[in-house]
Amino acid sequence: MIKKIALVTGANKGLGFETSRQLARQGILVLMGARNAERGEAAVRTLRDEGLSAESVLLDVTKTDQIRRAVDYVAEKYGRLDILVNNAGMAHPEETLIGSSVETVSPAVLRATFDVNFFGLVEITQAFLPLIRRSDAGRIVNVASILGSLTLHSQEGGISPFMPFAYDSSKTAVNAFTVHLSAALKKTPIKVNSAHPGWVRTDMGGNEAPMTAEEGTKTAVRLATLGPDGPTGRFFHSEKELQW
């Protein structure tokens, strides 16, 4: 019998790699999506050296042809997909974490950020949804960010100093997608949730971040492996529900 099959995007490094590792440690076959074939294969070798089940899938979330080939590959080889972790994301180098860029951010930066963080995520999910419907208990995890919370941004203090507009608004859009998709699938066994990993030491998070990659994956891994009574259409960090 084929074990559970998961696809993690942006899986060759950082949170995507560690999410793949933690899922594989639960006996799940992980398809590691990477936009660079060599880096993807290197990541797979690392997990296989640890005795874990993983495969590399060439997958740039902004390229429709690669998405279609990935869907065809999974359909032909496995016939279904049980878990989709939409991890791939970016913070544009022209935006800084502190302060607001809303008055100055360029259309080019907005488009580049949304292409990866939102449009690619939506296209990937829509493309794989027919295969997820074939799972007995499909799980979709959208890696968002607390910086996408409109409620928390509108309050004094807290996250209000951190307002890179392109990044934050792209994650707000991801949360909107979670809400809409979970509502559309409410009569199915599929669960759709958003995950805030926390401030994690990765290329994006920087060396000053307080959390390790393993700590940062706990939310996504939990949501990817929810039981039948688990939540859907919600936004979490660890087991704490966050405000949209």
DSSP, residue by residue, 160-199: TTEE-HHHHHHHHHHHHHHHHHHHHTTTSS-EEEEE---S
Chain centre distance of CA 183: 19
CA distance 189 to 229: 10
Q: H or E stretch including 54? A: strand 54-58
Q: Three-state SS for 232?
A: coil
Comparing C-alpha atoms, which of 89, 67, 112 is closest to residue 171? 89
**What span, in angstroms and rounded, lies between the C-alpha atoms of 91 and 143?**
13
What are residue 183's DSSP bridge partners? none
Is 218 marked active-site? no
Three-class SS of residue 244? coil
Q: Which residue has the tokens 């594989």?
A: 24
Cα atoms found within 13 Å of the Cα of residue 50, Cβ hemisphere only: 16
Q: Nearest-CA neighbor of 211 among 197, 195, 222?
A: 197
Known active-site residue 63: no
Identify the active-site residue in 167, 186, 191, 218: 167
User: How do beta strands 235-237 and 240-241 pair?
Assistant: antiparallel
Catalytic residue among 77, 78, 171, 191: 171
| Catalytic sites, residue numbers | 167, 171
